[in-house]
Amino acid sequence: MPKKLTMPEEFFEAFKLSKEGLSSKDIAEKMEKASYKPITDRTVRNWEEKYTAYEEQSGGELDEPWLWDKCEEYGKHGIPSNIEAIRRIMSHREAYIEQFDTKPSVREVKYIYLLFNIGENQWGEDDVVQKARRFAMGEFAVNAGGLGEDYVANIRKELDAEISQAIRKENNVTRRTR
């Protein structure tokens, strides 16, 4: 029986760094400097086996870095390619890079755009980016890392509560201004 994934955030970040072409040793070193739980290059190599199997099964497109010049290709993932949407995404992309020192994946941009629109004017860019990354990380860890579906279900439940709160807050403001 495969070992259960115990560090989903590190698993996700190591995968993203591997997509940028870093070696397992460089990934382990960069993650240690970024204050993640310490991992060895051997752990990264073991995770890379999971990544490879997942990418062979899924095609891996959702986990590639989002590129502005390929925006029309992402429509099938629910990411619009009109200029207004791209400007919003680019702004959030900059916030993402500033926070995490890496580029967001297509999966992350999908949730950044969705959460931005759901919580418009309720959350700042940094909050949207953090929420989207958290959900995308959970979804990836379940799909590629073998975590149980309950892992992402718990994240979804927490985000649902935050979304409901943001919508109630927006509705209260709207009612008061009428």
Q: Which residues are within 8 A (CB) of 125 and not within 5 positions of it... i.e. 6 or more apart?
A: 91, 92, 95
> Cα(134)–Cα(149) distance, rounded to whole angstroms?
15
**So what's the pLDDT on residue 1?**
43
**So what's the pLDDT on residue 2?**
55
Asked if 32 and 38 count as a contact pair (C-beta separation under 8 A), the reply is yes
**So what's the pLDDT on residue 166?**
82
**So what's the pLDDT on residue 175?**
63
Q: Note the pTM of the prediction, 2 decimals.
A: 0.85
Question: Average pLDDT per run of 10 along the chain, which is 178 residues long?
Answer: 74 89 91 86 90 86 91 93 94 95 93 89 90 93 85 92 86 67
> Cα(25)–Cα(39) distance, rounded to whole angstroms?
10
CA distances from 15 to 9, 46, 97, 149 (A): 10, 11, 16, 20
* Secondary structure (3-state) at 120: coil
Which residue in this structure is represented by tokens 């999966």? Answer: 107
> Cα(106)–Cα(15) distance, rounded to whole angstroms?
14
Query: C-alpha angle 90/94/96, rounded to 5°?
Result: 110
**Percent of the chain, pLDDT > 70?**
94
